[in-house]
């Protein structure tokens, strides 16, 4: 039976991936700082990957290691987390390192998080380990959370949603990314594989309207990822469309 160790298992993608791996008959070991509930074929370990030696005794020879742990708001964190995972996977003799990344990184280097993701990809590529890297666009779940955070109560007016001006995204459901990731994890290492995106490109006013935001205000918000996304930079030129549209996904919420 394939043993698959998933870092970042409590995150958006991790939570979608675990049941797919379990249903595929893999022995799944889920890692994050907060452990979740165990289930048949699924064990959890509470691990802070930033601590030296955090993975000692967790990884075994022949494991598939799916590395999803991320800290988007802490500059340098993804590089440090990935370095730890690469070193531990190599030392344990893991058979396959699977890394999740972001479509269009080359065009998005104005934002520290995307610079970190690119540096982390290079660590994986230079590790000497058999690996697979899957890049996707932003998840519907992440865009939805952004809209929630950008919605403010205005006394006498009601909720107002601030939107990053000049930004178009082509988001996909995390579940669709998890399906591809599950399949790739259980196959032979494939290096960098085809990027995934959602079925349609939408600008922020369109994304906001579909989620019921009535009052919106587009502004050049001074946030690094919003600046990086401007001018279509986040919309991949060549990626495979998968999963539900934003409207279909929204209807199911
Ligand atoms: N979100 C998107 O739109 C998107 C799009 C494309 C690619 N991706 C990539 O997909 C991957 C997963 O993203 P996500 O959205 O699922 O992330 P997420 O929801 O933010 O989850 C992050 C995960 O990392 C864990 N983590 C963070 N710091 C840790 C540490 N020091 N030690 C151990 N675990 C730690 C968190 O668990 P604890 O807090 O419990 O430790 C959590 O499980 C990332 O590589 C991301 O770059 C995301």
Q: Where are the domains of the chain?
A: 3-251
118 by DSSP, 3-state: which? helix
Q: Encode pLDDT of 183-237 as tens digits.
A: 999 999 999 999 999 999 999 999 999 999 999 999 999 999 999 999 999 999 8
| CA-34 nearest atom, ligand 1 | 40
Judge whether 204 and 149 are in contact, CB under 8 Å: no
pLDDT recorded at residue 211: 96
Task: Kindly give the distance from the C-alpha atom of residue 71 to the centroid of ligand 1, in angstroms, as a whole number.
Answer: 6
Query: Regarding the domain with residue range 3-251, which homologous superfamily does it belong to in the CATH classification?
Result: NAD(P)-binding Rossmann-like Domain (3.40.50.720)
Across the chain, mean pLDDT equals: 97
Is 14 touching ligand 1 by the criterion CB < 6 Å?
Answer: yes
Is 100 touching ligand 1 by the criterion CB < 6 Å?
Answer: yes
Regarding beta strands 64-67 and 42-46, do their DSSP bridges make them parallel or antiparallel, or are they unpaired? unpaired
Cα distances (Å, whole numbers) of residue 253 to 47, 144, 169, 211:
31, 10, 20, 10
Of 48, 14, 49, nearest to 29 by C-alpha is 14
pLDDT recorded at residue 253: 86
User: Would you list the DSSP string of 135-199?
Assistant: EE--BHHHHHHHHHHTEEEETTTEEEEEEETTBEE--B-HHHHHHHHHHHHTS---EE---EE-S
99 by DSSP, 3-state: which? strand
pLDDT recorded at residue 152: 97
Task: Kindly give the distance from the C-alpha atom of residue 56 to the centroid of ligand 1, in angstroms, as a whole number.
Answer: 21
Judge whether 77 and 109 are in contact, CB under 8 Å: no
- CA-CA distance, 245 to 140, in Å (whole number)? 9
Q: Which of 9, 11, 59 to mutate to test the pocket of ligand 1 (most atoms within 8 A of CB)?
A: 11
């Amino acid at each position: 039976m394939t043993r698959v160790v998933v870092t970042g298992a409590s995150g958006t993608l991790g939570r979608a991936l675990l049941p797919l791996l379990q249903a595929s008959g893999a022995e799944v070991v889920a890692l994050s700082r907060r452990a979740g509930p165990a289930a048949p074929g699924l064990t959890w370990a509470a691990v802070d990957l930033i601590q030296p030696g955090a993975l000692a005794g967790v990884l075994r020879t022949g494991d598939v290691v799916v590395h999803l742990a991320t800290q988007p708001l802490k500059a340098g964190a993804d590089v440090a987390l990935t370095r730890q995972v690469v070193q531990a996977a190599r030392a344990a003799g893991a058979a396959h390192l699977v890394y999740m990344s972001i479509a269009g990184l080359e065009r998005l280097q104005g934002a520290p998080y995307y610079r970190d993701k690119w540096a982390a990809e290079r660590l994986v590529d230079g590790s000497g380990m058999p690996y697979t890297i899957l890049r996707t666009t932003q998840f519907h779940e992440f865009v939805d959370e952004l809209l929630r955070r950008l919605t403010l109560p205005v006394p006498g007016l009601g909720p107002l949603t601030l939107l990053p001006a000049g930004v178009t995204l082509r988001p996909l459901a995390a579940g669709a990314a998890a399906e591809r990731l599950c399949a790739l994890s259980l196959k032979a290492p494939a290096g960098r594989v085809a990027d995934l995106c959602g079925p349609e490109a939408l600008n922020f006013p369109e994304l906001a309207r579909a989620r019921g935001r009535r009052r919106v205000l587009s502004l050049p918000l001074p946030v690094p990822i919003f600046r990086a996304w401007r001018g279509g930079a986040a919309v991949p030129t060549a990626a495979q469309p998968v999963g539900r549209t934003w409207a279909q996904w929204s209807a199911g919420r």
